[in-house]
Amino acid sequence: MSDTPNTTEHRYDALHLITDEVLARYANTPDPRLRELMLSLIKHIHSFAKEVKLTSEEWAFAMNFLEQTGQWCSPGRNEFMIFSDALGLSMLTVTQDYPRSQHATEPTLVGPFLLENAPEFAMGEDISAGAAGTPMYAQGQILDMHGQPVAHAVIDVWHSDDRGLYDVQDGIEEKGPWARAQLTTGADGRYSFWSVLPVDYPVPQDGTAIQMLQATTGRSWRPAHLHFRIQAPGQRPLITHIFDRNSKNLDSDAVFGVRPSLIADFKPQTPGQAPDGKRMDRDFFTLDYNFIMTDALA
Amino acid sequence: MSDTPNTTEHRYDALHLITDEVLARYANTPDPRLRELMLSLIKHIHSFAKEVKLTSEEWAFAMNFLEQTGQWCSPGRNEFMIFSDALGLSMLTVTQDYPRSQHATEPTLVGPFLLENAPEFAMGEDISAGAAGTPMYAQGQILDMHGQPVAHAVIDVWHSDDRGLYDVQDGIEEKGPWARAQLTTGADGRYSFWSVLPVDYPVPQDGTAIQMLQATTGRSWRPAHLHFRIQAPGQRPLITHIFDRNSKNLDSDAVFGVRPSLIADFKPQTPGQAPDGKRMDRDFFTLDYNFIMTDALA
């Protein structure tokens, strides 16, 4: 055995000294906000490990699980976001981050399937691009906090088909995007599009997040919804869903995204004239929903 | 706007209710230990996000950073482990997990580069497999807590070459492993091998962990060391390093792995006869270090 003089700057082989030593090191982080984030993160990670007396076997499992999670990521799917959603972190962040105006549309989580550069459509067009499902006509208006229409609002909309799948889960590389679009409002702030009715679906069945949910809450379903991201000059970006009131899973959303104000009626319609004048020879659904944005400076 | 009756099981659109709602959901986790881990993890993740008032932009950065981290993982390299090491979590876990016997060799973190099924060598052989560096002869004995030699101890050893690189960082697929071996002790518990002297090296320069370290502590170097994992019947597995007392980075190990008892003399030798009788026509180093294992039941 070698001699063992105490040559190190700090002794941190005692459990209660490790956290102090790590915090002291990161206290030199130059950027103040990054320093604040790192010190709090270290404090809470260490508190967690100490509170549960994390074992080496559990640590090794976690390291392997994180590596596997990384391998499930692909363009349009971030598996880490599903964990963040399923652990309530996403809704916590959204809720504390947005200044809440009394009448503004409530935000909800973005989810793992947003893609930038979605295909552009004109108002009233069919954005389904062949997605399977019952036709749905959605319309409404983008308004500001003062009730005025928001012109030049860029609306991203994306949603599942009637199998509960998104384009990124089913061959977007070969087939191209479907049930995904970007629309831009005119002076009246109005939007409208045809697509297919979204349905309830479970968290992706092939990744690591579903493994966690099956072993814990046992709840992996999301209620049927449309995703919206709305961006406009002078307005705070709004990311939200509109949920179908007929969903059986409104009370048990796997990712805690439901808010009562975001539940709307997707109304069944029999064959006949649609709101835009189109003649429909089969059943379809209609949705009317207005969005109220918040001033960027509010 | 649709009507907004409160149809959900729980209202959790108020910030202070979100954590309660998430904890209530995970309280149904069937396995008691997993339940304990998840509830503590959720509590601490939420406390962190609330304490720093995590913004959506910071959350999105983190999700992207985690995805990138996953993409740096490969066989023999787990980038998440480097984060765990750099944030002190690994040493915290190791320290609280191992029962400390007064005389036993101290454990330290495993690091991201361990491979199972390392090539087997006989005692005294050269394990460097062509790695660049100054020759080094290491020897010692594996002992139990009662001072008796441990027979049939399986020793994994792995270390850097004189560029500070491991085989997994430099073409292991083409060249095969180098400076990596598995040795098994006989009845005398003794081990010995030739290899090359390890050197100080920084955390891998091409991943995400180095980005974090550069932005925070500014310390990314590890002191020169050999990795050992020793497994034997009736003994608790021992994972540790032996550090070179001549390293300039003993006081600032990027991953908090140094312990005074693990610092040893890698002794410079001039050309002549080596401890095993081999004639050396160039300078070399010798290391003598005994390991004391802990009873599996201790």
Q: What is the pLDDT of residue A16?
A: 75
Whether B67 contacts chain A with CB within 8 A? yes
Of the candidates B106, B217, B263, the beta carbon closest to that of A25 is on B217
Kindly report the backbone phi and psi dihedral angles of residue B154, in degrees, each rounded to the nearest multiple of 5, phi listed first: -95, 115
Residues 118-157 of chain A whose Cβ lies under 8 A from any Cβ of chain B = none
Q: What is the pLDDT of residue B13?
A: 57
Q: What is the pLDDT of residue A297?
A: 75
Task: In whole angstroms, give the CA distance from residue B68 to residue B46.
Answer: 23
In angstroms, how far is CA A271 from the centroid of its own chain?
A: 34
Q: What is the pLDDT of residue B10?
A: 43
Of the candidates B69, B96, B289, the beta carbon closest to that of A50 is on B96
Q: What is the pLDDT of residue B100?
A: 67
Report chain A residues whose CB lies below 8 A from the CB of B98.
56
Q: What is the pLDDT of residue A171?
A: 84
Q: What is the pLDDT of residue B99?
A: 65
Interchain pair B59, A4: CB under 8 A: no
Pick from A250, A282, A286: which is nearest to A267 by CA?
A286
User: What is the nearest CA distance from A81 to chain B, expressed in angstroms?
Assistant: 6
For residue A5, name the pLDDT band (cuts at 50, 70, 90).
Answer: very low
Find the helix or strand (DSSP H, E) in which B86 lies: helix B79-86
pLDDT per residue as tens digits for the range A165-200: 999 998 898 989 999 999 999 999 999 999 999 999
Of the candidates B37, B69, B264, the beta carbon closest to that of A70 is on B69
User: Which two structure tokens, joined as six digits, stand for B146?
Assistant: 């009662």
Task: In whole angstroms, give the CA distance from residue A272 to residue A278.
Answer: 8
pLDDT per residue as tens digits for the range A259-297: 999 999 999 999 999 999 999 999 999 999 999 999 987
Task: In whole angstroms, give the CA distance from residue B221 to residue B200.
Answer: 7
Interchain pair B45, A89: CB under 8 A: yes
* Bridge partners of residue A292, in order along the sequence: A143
Q: What is the pLDDT of residue A101?
A: 72
Q: What is the pLDDT of residue B5?
A: 41
Q: What is the mean pLDDT of residues B262-271?
A: 98
Q: Are B246 and B197 in contact (CB under 8 A)?
A: no
Task: Report the SS3 class of residue B180.
Answer: strand
Task: In whole angstroms, give the CA distance from residue B213 to residue B215.
Answer: 5
Q: Are A234 and A296 in contact (CB under 8 A)?
A: yes
Q: What is the pLDDT of residue A13?
A: 57
User: Which two structure tokens, joined as six digits, stand for A289?
Assistant: 């929903």
For residue B76, name the pLDDT band (cuts at 50, 70, 90).
Answer: confident
Interchain pair B41, A28: CB under 8 A: no
**Mutation site, A41, A72, A94, A105, interface B, largest B CB count within 10 A:** A41
Q: Is A162 exposed, middle or buried (0-12, 13-18, 19+ CB in 10 A)?
A: middle
Instruction: Tell me: pLDDT of B8 over 50.
Output: no
Instruction: Tell me: pLDDT of A8 over 90.
Output: no
Task: Report the SS3 class of residue A22.
Answer: helix
Q: What is the pLDDT of residue B16?
A: 75
Whether B211 contacts chain A with CB within 8 A? no
Q: What is the mean pLDDT of residues B125-154?
A: 97
Instruction: Tell me: pLDDT of A3 over 70.
Output: no
Q: What is the pLDDT of residue B6?
A: 41
For residue A6, name the pLDDT band (cuts at 50, 70, 90).
Answer: very low
Task: In whole angstroms, give the CA distance from residue A100 to residue A130.
Answer: 38
Q: What is the pLDDT of residue B1?
A: 37
pLDDT per residue as tens digits for the range A211-241: 999 999 999 999 999 999 999 999 999 999 9
Task: Report the SS3 class of residue A284.
Answer: strand
Percent of chain A scored above 90 by pLDDT? 87
Instruction: Tell me: pLDDT of A10 over 80.
Output: no
Pick from B140, B226, B150, B149: which is nearest to B181 by CA?
B226
Q: Are A105 and A294 in contact (CB under 8 A)?
A: no
pLDDT per residue as tens digits for the range B198-250: 999 999 999 999 999 999 999 999 999 999 999 999 999 999 999 999 999 99
Of the candidates B6, B44, B46, the beta carbon closest to that of A92 is on B46
Interchain pair A34, B216: CB under 8 A: yes
For residue B297, name the pLDDT band (cuts at 50, 70, 90).
Answer: confident
Residues 265-294 of chain A whose Cβ lies under 8 A from any Cβ of chain B = 265, 288-290
Instruction: Tell me: pLDDT of A7 over 50.
Output: no
Report chain B residues whose CB lies below 8 A from the CB of A52.
36-37, 40
User: Alpha-carbon torsion B129, B134, B140, B144, what sign?
Assistant: negative
Kindly report the backbone phi and psi dihedral angles of residue A111, in degrees, each rounded to the nearest multiple of 5, phi listed first: 75, 170
Pick the more confident residue, A95 or A127: A127
Percent of chain B scored above 70 by pLDDT? 94
Whether A48 contacts chain B with CB within 8 A? yes
Q: What is the mean pLDDT of residues B153-181?
A: 95
Q: What is the mean pLDDT of residues B183-194?
A: 98
Q: Are B102 and B251 in contact (CB under 8 A)?
A: no
Pick from A298, A155, A19, A7: which is nearest to B92 by CA?
A19
Side-chain-facing half-sphere of B110: CA atoms under 13 Å: 24
Q: Is A114 exposed, middle or buried (0-12, 13-18, 19+ CB in 10 A)?
A: middle
Q: How far is CA B38 from CA A99, A215, A251, A267, in A?
A: 30, 11, 21, 40
Q: What ipTM describes this predicted complex?
A: 0.91
Report chain A residues whose CB lies below 8 A from the CB of B231.
none
Interchain pair B87, A41: CB under 8 A: yes
Task: In whole angstroms, give the CA distance from residue B240 to residue B105.
Answer: 8
Instruction: Tell me: pLDDT of B36 over 90.
Output: yes
pLDDT per residue as tens digits for the range A73-102: 988 899 999 999 999 999 999 998 866 677
Instruction: Tell me: pLDDT of B127 over 60.
Output: yes
Task: In whole angstroms, give the CA distance from residue A20 to residue B271.
Answer: 46
Q: Is B52 exposed, middle or buried (0-12, 13-18, 19+ CB in 10 A)?
A: middle
Interchain pair A106, B13: CB under 8 A: yes
For residue A17, name the pLDDT band (cuts at 50, 70, 90).
Answer: confident
Neighbours of B275 (CB within 10 A): 12
Q: Name the average pLDDT for chain A.
A: 93
Interchain pair B56, A9: CB under 8 A: no
For residue B164, name the pLDDT band (cuts at 50, 70, 90).
Answer: very high
Q: Give a three-class secondary structure readout of B145-156.
A: CCCCECCCCEEE
